[in-house]
């Protein structure tokens, strides 16, 4: 009897799977969305995509996947999407986007939160997509950030930790290096391979620098709390190029675009493609409107470091963290 029931259950489950694939083959749109790691910024981006698709009335089976900071898992997810016959694939962050672009040439691939899509060889120009690939870049104004950090905190020696295996992080490092050289700031770097190494890297660098600057490195932000603990204990300021991850406190200043709005913009690209627009005709999207960017100032972190933030910057901030509470304008 038990064997019979098991067989019946197996047949039912197979029937469900067969029905789902049949629906997909009969015109039901199937979208595969893969993010490289789970953290606040990429989660917000993913949520923005889903809300944009709902707003546009896209009726789709959506498969959400997380590579957990592993490039091999990104490749496995791409193969899964291929086996499942997705209509369109979305890669949030560079490693997953690269895996999807390598796996597919016959369906659209849309990337999001990719710092340097040309350097990652997803496209050859920002003016348009490349064959079946297009998307959104999360490039940030690195030089402006470092200049502001120097003005607010008197930085003479800047710390920078990045993931040596991420193409976007290597591109970001080049921009940090160039900005420090142009502004006469000494740069001390430390590389990591996994988020588990971040605390040790922070401890290795903290006493050699005046403060640390963070670009949009996914592996770093997935373990941001560990880095903040180290720099808070040393009374050294943290400047983040991602506001979303700084909303929990600890970063003296965070400046960057809103990742939820980045997700919305990505979702609109997806909807346009599903409506018939070709990826190769869609330029790489950047968020350039002031309303698409945020500025956060953590007065608790500034006080801990003995730094006073001028009123002109407080008036510009749309997030203020003070006495353990976050307020927004």
Is the domain of 116 the same as that of 224? no
Note whether 117 and 95 are within 8 A (CB): no
Strand order in the sheet with 29-35: 60-66, 29-35, 88-92, 109-114, 133-137
The DSSP letter of residue 159 is E
Predicted pLDDT at 1 = 40
Per-residue pLDDT for 159 more than 50? yes
Range of the domain at 208: 142-256+293-328
Q: In which band, very low, low, confident or very high, does the pLDDT at 27 lie, cut at 50, 70 and 90?
A: low
Is the domain of 73 the same as that of 127? yes
Is the domain of 157 the same as that of 200? yes
Per-residue pLDDT for 141 more than 80? yes
Cα angle 16, 21, 22 (rounded to 5 degrees) comes to 95
4 in a structural domain: no
36 in a structural domain: yes
Is the domain of 167 the same as that of 206? yes
Least confident of 2-11, 67-76, 118-127, 194-203: 2-11
6 in a structural domain: no
Distance, first Cα to last Cα, the chain: 65
176 in a structural domain: yes
2 in a structural domain: no
Q: How far apart are CA 172 and CA 53, in angstroms?
A: 30
Note whether 297 and 321 are within 8 A (CB): yes
200 in a structural domain: yes
The string of pLDDT tens digits covering residues 247-302 is 999 999 999 988 999 999 999 999 999 999 999 999 999 988 888 889 999 999 99
Is the domain of 297 the same as that of 194? yes
DSSP 221-272: HTTHHHHHHHHHHTT--EEES-SGGGTTS--SEEEEE-HHHHHHHHHHHHHH
Is the domain of 231 the same as that of 185? yes
Predicted pLDDT at 39 = 86
Q: What is the pTM of this model?
A: 0.77
Is the domain of 187 the same as that of 282? no
Which of 167-176, 210-219, 250-259, 300-309 tops mean pLDDT? 300-309
3 in a structural domain: no
Is the domain of 39 the same as that of 117? yes
Total number of domains constituting the chain: 2
Query: The domain that contains 187 carries what CATH number?
Result: 3.40.50.2300
DSSP 168-204: HHHHHHHHHHHHHHHHT-EEEEEEESSGGGHHHHHHH
């Amino acid at each position: 009897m038990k064997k019979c029931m098991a067989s019946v259950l197996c047949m039912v489950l197979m029937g469900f799977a067969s029905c789902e694939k049949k629906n997909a083959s009969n015109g039901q749109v199937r979208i595969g969305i893969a993010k490289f790691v789970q953290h606040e910024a990429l989660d917000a981006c993913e949520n923005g995509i889903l809300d944009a698709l709902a707003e546009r009335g896209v009726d789709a089976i959506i498969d959400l996947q997380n590579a957990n900071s592993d490039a091999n898992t990104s490749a496995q997810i791409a193969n899964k999407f291929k086996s499942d016959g997705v209509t369109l694939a979305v890669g949030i962050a560079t490693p997953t986007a690269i895996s999807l672009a390598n796996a597919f040439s016959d369906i659209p691939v849309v990337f999001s939160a990719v710092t340097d899509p040309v350097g990652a060889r997803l496209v050859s120009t920002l003016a348009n997509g490349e064959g079946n690939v297009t998307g959104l870049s999360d490039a940030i104004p690195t030089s402006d950030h470092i200049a502001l950090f120097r003005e607010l905190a008197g930085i003479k020696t800047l710390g920078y930790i990045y993931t040596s295996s991420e193409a976007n992080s290597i591109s970001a490092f080049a921009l940090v290096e160039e900005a420090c050289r142009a502004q006469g700031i000494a740069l001390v770097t430390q590389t990591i391979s996994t988020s588990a190494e971040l605390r040790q890297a922070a401890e290795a660098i903290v006493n050699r620098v005046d403060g640390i600057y963070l670009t949009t490195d996914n592996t770093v932000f997935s373990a941001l709390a560990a880095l903040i603990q180290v720099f808070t204990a040393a009374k050294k300021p943290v400047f983040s190029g991602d506001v979303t991850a700084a909303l929990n406190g600890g970063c003296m200043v965070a400046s960057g675009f809103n990742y939820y709005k980045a997700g919305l913009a990505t979702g609109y690209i997806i909807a346009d493609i599903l409506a018939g627009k070709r990826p190769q005709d869609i330029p790489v999207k950047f968020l350039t409107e002031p309303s698409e960017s945020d500025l956060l100032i953590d007065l608790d972190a500034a006080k801990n470091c003995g730094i006073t933030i001028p009123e002109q910057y407080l008036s510009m901030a749309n997030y203020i963290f003070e006495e353990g509470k976050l307020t927004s304008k």
